[in-house]
Structure 1
Amino acid sequence: MRFAACLVSLLLISGCGVLLPSHDYYAVGVAQIGDRLYVYAPLCDGERVVGVEAYDNLLAAQEPDYDPASMQFTYWKAQDPTDESVANGWIALGDSNGFRTTAVVAGSNIELPEFMGISLQLDVGSQHVVGDVVSVSEAPRYPAGADPGSVRYAYRSGGDGEDTRDPSKIRDESGCAADYPA
């Protein structure tokens, strides 16, 4: 795990195009269960996910004048959750079953990227967007059928580097999504 943190730091210093927010950013947890990548987005009471986009962060960062609305580097984009667990931040990336609308079907634009940007559109009493960048290869792996609420997630908090934490620890450390800059 430390290797990935060092690699990301090196990419940032070298200008290779990884877009990582400052240390004061909203972080999500990521884990692989079976063949699915799961994101845990810690939310406070009254906060709800209303849309999610997963995109290739490296390609987007290297594109001059990149327009996110083009969805050129989007791996998956879905909105309007129909599943309460999704609205509460438990998201199986690429699984549109828990959403009313899918703007980009998983993998239809690009393959699953190594450095995936995660953008979450939230309702926190008003519209609010937060995001993180995750390393797919750093996601701990669990067998299919494991409970997303009981596994550990790769999580990067502040300047501490990346390690694994259970959802309650992530929730305790994160604060509310509304407290992070959009």
Structure 2
Amino acid sequence: MSLLLTSGCGLFLPSHDYYAVGFAEIGDQLHIYAPLCDGERVVGVEAYDNLLAGQEPDYDPALMQFTYWKVQDPTHESVANGWIVLGDSSQFRSTEVVAGSNIELPELLGITLQLDVGGQHAVGDVVSVSEAPRYPAGADPGSVRYVYRPERDGEDMRSPGEIRDDSGCASGYPA
């Protein structure tokens, strides 16, 4: 798995060809939209402090010392299809780290998605929590616009359909 790093200047990503998710706040919940193709399913999610992980010279993700939330095996089809509410463990069969039990919600949130794409595959992104657009509670996650970073040097706001059209399949991105 590639580590996504940050500095005071911004995000450093391993290449221009990386998987990007949409990110928005609806009410008091942070929503992730992960664009997936037919046959791709989310099977696990880990959210971690990207800044702290990037500063650790011998960072071992297995220790989960910078993990904010880690879950496996979604119980809802919408979650398996990429519609994730950050920290909502009720939609997963297994919770390895309860949201906020290890660390507080970090500003630069690394997100790793474990996928089943006919085999195991992992993709990841980094989002700035403060840049998430805000919508009132009850807004439809399918109709809001998400902050989306399709290129290393830019970000914009897009609907889920626009993100899906721009993204390509998750299995096409390096693990």
TM-score interval, normalised by the smaller of the two chains = over 0.9
Q: Which residue type is aligned with residue 122 of structure 2? A: V
Deviation at 1:159, TM superposition (A): 4.0
What is aligned with 2:145?
A: 152
> 2:105 is paired with a residue of what secondary structure?
coil
Q: How does 1:101-180 map to 2 (within 5 A)?
A: 101-159=94-152, 161-180=154-173
Match of 1:27 among 11, 17, 20: 20
> 1:157 is paired with a residue of what secondary structure?
strand
What is aligned with 1:95?
A: 88
| TM-score, length of structure 2 as denominator length | 0.94
Hey, what's the Cα distance between the residues in 1 that align with 2:152 and 2:101? 34
What is aligned with 1:61?
A: 54
> 2:113 is paired with a residue of what secondary structure?
strand
Deviation at 1:158, TM superposition (A): 2.1
Hey, what's the Cα distance between the residues in 2 that align with 1:167 and 1:48? 16
**CA-atom RMSD, angstroms?**
1.3
Cα deviation, 1:5-38, whole Å, max 9, x if unaligned, reads xxx68635xxxxx553321000000000011100
Cα deviation, 1:101-132, whole Å, max 9, x if unaligned, reads 00000000000000000000000000000000
Hey, what's the Cα distance between the residues in 2 that align with 1:42 and 1:151? 15
What is aligned with 2:3?
A: none
Q: Which residue type is aligned with residue 87 of structure 2? A: G
Q: Which residue type is aligned with residue 35 of structure 1? A: D
Aligned pair count? 170
Q: Which residue type is aligned with residue 11 of structure 1? A: C
Cα deviation, 1:29-67, whole Å, max 9, x if unaligned, reads 000001110000000000000000000000000011010
> 2:78 is paired with a residue of what secondary structure?
helix
Structure 1 contact 140–154 (Cα < 8 Å) conserved = yes
Hey, what's the Cα distance between the residues in 2 that align with 1:58 and 1:71? 14
Q: Which runs of 4+ in 1 moved over 2 A?
A: 8-12, 18-21
Hey, what's the Cα distance between the residues in 2 that align with 1:178 and 1:140? 28
Hey, what's the Cα distance between the residues in 2 that align with 1:159 and 1:80? 30
Provide the identity percentage: 79
What is aligned with 1:4?
A: none
Bigger share in strand: 2
Structure 2 contact 13–152 (Cα < 8 Å) conserved = no
Deviation at 1:91, TM superposition (A): 0.2
Q: Which residue type is aligned with residue 33 of structure 1? A: I
1:75 paired to 2:68: yes
Cα deviation, 1:64-90, whole Å, max 9, x if unaligned, reads 101000000000000000000000000
1:82/1:61 CA distance change after superposition, 3 Å: same
Give unpaired runs (5+ residues) of structure 1.
1-7, 13-17
